[in-house]
Amino acid sequence: MRSLLAFLPILLLHTFVQAQSSPTPKFTVTPLNDQVLVHTTYGLVGKIPFPSNGLIIKTKDGVVLVDTGWDSDTNTDNTRELLRWVADNLHQPVRLCIVTHAHEDKMGGISELRKAGVQVVSTPLTARKSVKLGFESPEGILPNDTTFLIGQEPIRCYFPGQGHTSDNIVVWLPNQQILYGGCLIKSVAAFGMGNLADANLAEWAGSIRNVMSHFGTARIVVPGHQDWGDTKSLEHTLTLLEKHKATQK
């Protein structure tokens, strides 16, 4: 393990922020326990607001984000509001953001984080794909399986194989037994596979089983979108994949 940052202790809070003039909520912050919170921002799918999840991780030395707000290359309001919330309520700036794959719902706010002096990291593949999509590149320094230590809190970034995208990683918090599955994992509230534009349907199920073999002890699994809960979302993703496969025959 290697120490990356030094932060100050912060407090757990819960809030809901909504702009009066916006058709979608700006974001929500929801605690999972006294150290880990889910941040949720919204984008429009068609004309319907749709939630995208990420994590706020508290340690003895401060805060780490997993994924940015759902933003675009021309509008980073969600990530700006998220940073403002952290500063106003937790009284500490965000120092690090881990990007789990190169889609705008997960890395659209990179430019806003950079303005705030936040270090943004990803795998090398995600960094290259971000540039091709017209976004600022995160620092592509993460190996496919690496654990680092921030404020005595181990954070494991793991590439289980292709699925939703060719570069999707998951983030494991062993002390908390919390798995952030990102968009590789479908919520139990999901009825379909969602965006398959960059998907590898042939490998997705194998990647899920890889996650299950490594992190089957998880108490909470947070998918990239919609509701979260226990490990049922892993089996649910496999079920959705089988149903999708059947419709393609």
For residue 93, what pLDDT is reported? 77
**Domains in the chain, ordered, with CATH?**
15-247 (3.60.15.10)
* Catalytic residue (choose from 164, 210, 225, 236): 164
* Catalytic residue (choose from 34, 175, 195, 230): 195
* Catalytic residue (choose from 39, 71, 77, 101): 101
d(CA 220, CA 241): 21
Told to judge if 14 belongs to the known catalytic residues of this protein, a careful annotator would answer no
Q: What is the mean predicted confidence (pLDDT) over 224-241?
A: 97
Report helix, strand or coil for 219: coil
In the chain, beta strands by DSSP E: 15-17, 27-31, 36-45, 48-59, 62-66, 96-98, 119-122, 139-140, 145-150, 153-158, 170-173, 178-182, 220-223
Q: What is the mean predicted confidence (pLDDT) over 175-190?
A: 98
Contacts of 84 (CB under 8 A, 6+ apart): none
* Catalytic residue (choose from 105, 167, 168, 210): 105
- Sign (positive or negative) of CA dihedral 3, 8, 11, 15: negative
Contacts of 218 (CB under 8 A, 6+ apart): 172, 177, 178, 179, 230, 231
For residue 94, what pLDDT is reported? 83
Told to judge if 164 belongs to the known catalytic residues of this protein, a careful annotator would answer yes
d(CA 164, CA 152): 31
pTM of the model: 0.89
Among the listed ranges 1-10, 22-31, 33-42, 93-102, which one has the minimum average pLDDT value? 1-10
Contacts of 71 (CB under 8 A, 6+ apart): 41, 77, 78, 79, 104, 108, 109, 112
Average pLDDT of every residue of the chain: 89
Residues 190, 36, 117, CA angle at the centre, nearest 5°?
A: 105
pLDDT in tens, 45-75: 888 999 999 999 988 888 999 999 999 989 9
d(CA 130, CA 127): 5
* Catalytic residue (choose from 39, 53, 78, 103): 103
- Place 16 in a pLDDT band, splitting at 50, 70 and 90: very low
Q: How far is CA 188 from CA 89, 98, 183, 195, 245, in A?
A: 31, 24, 13, 16, 18
pLDDT at 6 exceeding the cut of 70: no
d(CA 182, CA 102): 11
Q: What is the mean predicted confidence (pLDDT) over 86-94?
A: 85
- Place 25 in a pLDDT band, splitting at 50, 70 and 90: confident
For residue 151, what pLDDT is reported? 87
34, burial (CB in 10 Å: exposed 0-12, middle 13-18, buried 19+): exposed
Q: Sheet containing 170-173: which strands, arranged edge to edge?
A: 145-150, 153-158, 170-173, 178-182, 220-223
